[in-house]
Amino acid sequence: MKTARFHFDDEFHPLLSRDKRSDGFDLSFRGPQSVKHLIESLRVPHTEIGPLKANGESIGLDYLVHDGDQIEVRPDAPEVCQTEPRFVLDGHLGRLAAHLRMLGLDCLYRSDYDDPELAKVSVSDDRILLTRDRLLLMQKRITRGYLLRSLDPEEQLREVVKRYQLIQWIKPFCRCLRCNHPLESISKEAVLERLEPLTKFYFEDFRICPACGQIYWKGSHYERMQKLIEQIRKE
């Protein structure tokens, strides 16, 4: 039996069991084991892991841990995306998908996606996988993913905006909340007969989803989202 001492950054504490939240703890194991495997045995997906050190030296995820090693685990730093990030969300995150689409971000979401499909779409389409399912993120082929901490959709949105530095990519009111398709401008006259009387009275600027036909205007939902964006910017 071999034993290594693990030191996880405080940021990991919500992901670790109570007895592993101290400054350091010993982990015993048999045979050759990669640091990735040992960390994932503690239910921390590899997508959450940032810089790693063994005995003060930088190491990669495939490092084979030796008896007596001191392993330091730091969280992954917020990612500055060079191109507009795109997402795929698991089937429990419908409200988060709507929030992200409201910000204009490209989010694939279907309530009936199963785990193999989600993993496949994430890899083949280079989409960041958002989920609260740790086992899903532990799949070897997933390289871009984030484990949501909160159960609350607005808190989840904050987490994702911070994790992927999304402020620069926000383009509100340009994507369909229902089906993710980019919206097009449409004249009020063209949609007049589909509008409720108060909407007709108060709004002039309309957009339509060419895929599903949904009409959008800057109503109360939009104002609430603007406030949320302002709050996030200040944070």
Q: List residues binding Zn ion (CB under 5 A).
A: 176, 178-179, 181, 209, 211-212, 214
Rg (CA), the chain: 22
User: Would you say 53 or 178 has its CB closer to Zn ion?
Assistant: 178
**2-8, strands of its sheet edge to edge:** 25-29, 2-8, 70-75, 49-54, 57-59
Distance CA 31, CA 19 (A): 24
Beta carbon of residue 36, minimum distance to Zn ion (angstroms, whole number)? 40
Torsion angles phi and psi, residue 50, rounded to 5 = -105, -135
User: Would you say 2 or 110 has its CB closer to Zn ion?
Assistant: 110
User: Would you say 61 or 212 has its CB closer to Zn ion?
Assistant: 212
Beta carbon of residue 184, minimum distance to Zn ion (angstroms, whole number)? 11
Beta carbon of residue 97, minimum distance to Zn ion (angstroms, whole number)? 13
Beta carbon of residue 170, minimum distance to Zn ion (angstroms, whole number)? 19
Q: How many helices (H) and strands (E) does the chain have?
A: 8, 12
